[in-house]
């Protein structure tokens, strides 16, 4: 079972300093929508994107591994996919019973 914080959220492990980020006004809704679609906070979405950018520019496998998307983000995305799949099954069963 994943460790949880005092607020009930999954622990994200050791992290560095907080970075305040102001998004361009026309970018913010896009980032927020993408994050919501993935089931993660927008800050985690930005961290994921940065990891992908640095991993894509890496010159070695070790450097690519260093910039892998953090596990706490991939587990949140996987949980969202699982919830969506379960909801799709429920919807499909409901449609079948209604027919």
Per residue in 40-78, pLDDT tens? 999 999 999 999 999 999 999 999 999 999 999 999 999
pLDDT computed for residue 21 by the predictor: 86
Terminal C-alpha separation, the chain: 40
Q: What is the reported pLDDT for 33?
A: 97
Residue 25 burial (CB count, 10 A): 7
Average pLDDT, the chain: 88
Q: What is the pLDDT of residue 93?
A: 81
């Amino acid at each position: 079972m994943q460790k949880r914080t005092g607020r009930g959220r999954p622990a994200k492990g050791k992290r560095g300093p907080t970075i305040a980020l102001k998004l361009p006004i026309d970018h913010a809704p896009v980032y927020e929508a993408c994050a919501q679609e993935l089931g993660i906070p927008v800050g985690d979405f930005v961290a994921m994107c940065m990891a992908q950018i640095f991993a894509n520019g890496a010159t070695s496998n070790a450097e690519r591994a260093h910039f892998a998307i953090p596990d706490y983000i991939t587990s949140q995305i996987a949980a969202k996919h699982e919830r969506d799949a379960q909801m799709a099954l429920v919807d499909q069963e409901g449609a079948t019973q209604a027919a």
